[in-house]
Amino acid sequence: MSKVISAEKAAELIKDGTTVAWTTSVLSGFAEEMAIAIEKRFLETGAPRDLTITFSSGNGDYPYGDVKGMNHLAHEGLIKKVIGSHIGQSPRLGKLVTENKVECHLFTQGILVHLYRQMAGKKVGVITKTGLGTFIDPRLDGGRINEITKEERVKLIEFEGEEYLYFKPFPIDVAIIRGSVCDEKGNMAMTHEPLLLESLSLASAVHNRGGIVIAQVLYLAKTGTLHPRRVNVPGGLVDYIVQAKPENHLMTTGTFFEPDLCGYFHTPMGSIPPLPLDQRKVIVRRAAMEMLPDSILNLGFGTPTYVASVAVEEGVLEKVTLTTELGNFGGVPCSGLDFPASHNAECTVAHEAMFDFYDGGGLDTAILGFAQADADGNLNVSKFGGRISGPGGFINIADSAKKVVFVSPMTIDAKTAVKDGKLVILKEGKGKKFVNQVEQVSFSGTYARKKGKPIFFVTERAVFSLENEGLTLIEIAPGLEVERDVLSAMEFRPRISPALKEMPRELFMPQWGKLRQIMEENR
């Protein structure tokens, strides 16, 4: 009997009240054809209802749109609960959560992918120090995002005299995974996918408890024609196959297929245009100064990804290994519409394997964005300004990297110019990012100080470090005054280093050319 069915038939297999897991990161790995079919069935029949949906990464097309990805399922009555890490790319779903129409737990990305793997083996769950002191800690919010979410899904435990967080397993009834091609037996290969994600762990977890595994693919192959080393999920774990229309099977939000995003060949890096000289370039240049030769880095979403462009422009890309938490080692992580893929990746591993590497301390440096910071060094990336986003992999990465560089403009929507080796503030921003108290703790400055690792905050106006006394101003942009241009843009007064110095003027010039030398001096 053929495993190939229509998306409409597959949607009918999902019953009221079930838990459905999805592989996804933005639109990479997301089964758009299946989401469309489930939405269509619900709008026409009212079923399925009261689903619990779980996913490890953000999924949607925001800020480029608000109709794809998990936005399809954002209907009152269709979803009852969400267990994920990031909903910022699905504003329709975020609206339901904000309005208390859907229960929501948001944990960190690495915890969820490890939990799926533990569930596959019917293990006890995940026990970790990751998340202590953040909103995931049950002494704060326990990962609960709104008022209607009451269930406790994480516990504080003590083991051999130390504190840990315990995340218990939960049953998953349906897994909706995505690959490039399935043969007639259901063997699934991911030859045209930019990432492997957690497809195997989810398929194993659901298969092993008697659930349904649905694989969305673009192509069908004859049994026996797929090389076994290219098969990522064995056919015995796949119950049904849905062949998608090309427009519902995008490689990334902006690309249907690009060979260098899945390893077919490498694109010359000289083809990546340099960034224009503006405040963003100043920020990422200064952040790049914290890189060490022969080190392994993670670049976060948004501004941090442009550190890769600076590395290319400065000719130091071969000196470092850039990674993404989704599983790519090497190459250049994409930004914009092609996030979270990588140009010219050297190796792609499973999602959960990458977090094994990260959580174990494999990252030398992480360069990450932030939305709010306070005097104690606490950061918020997950819930601010009335918007719920979630931490994604931020908490794992910031907690485990040996050095962390947080980057952001000093204020929200300020207008600046970079002229003659100086920063000029044309119009002050409409909101402050350095606040008296962050709205939600996504990174604990208290726990970070206990570890004693280097923590920096880089803006276009100033650089701060996190020291025992709290946030400390250590550098200021040329052309600016401390009181007028930095402290006035903050809700609190940081400690000012007695060795306060000027940020290198070369960062504010059209041509830099000093990164290689700086990295060697850092060795």
> Which residues are known to be catalytic?
325
Helix 109-120 to helix 199-207 angle (10° resolution) is 40
DSSP 8-state secondary structure symbol assigned to residue 299: E
| CB-based contact 436:491 (threshold 8 Å) | yes
The letter for the amino acid at 9 is K
C-alpha torsion 367→125→164→328, nearest 10: -10
How close are the terminal C-alpha atoms of the chain, in Å?
Answer: 61
Q: What is the DSSP secondary-structure string of 443-496?
A: B-HHHHHHHT--EEEE-SSEEEEEETTEEEEEEE-TT--IIIIIGGGBSS--EE
Within a 10 A sphere around the Cβ of 13, how many other Cβ atoms? 15
The letter for the amino acid at 118 is Q
| CB-based contact 343:260 (threshold 8 Å) | yes
275 three-class SS? coil
Cis? peptide before 246, omega within 30° of 0 = no
Token digits of residue 415: 């207008």
CA pair distance 209, 196, nearest whole angstrom:
23
CA pair distance 69, 41, nearest whole angstrom:
16
CA pair distance 242, 263, nearest whole angstrom:
25
Looking at the DSSP assignment, which residues form a beta bridge with residue 508?
Answer: none
Radius of gyration of the chain (CA): 23
Cβ-in-10-Å burial (0-12, 13-18, 19+) of 386 comes to exposed
CA distances from 246 to 179, 272, 443 (A): 13, 27, 40
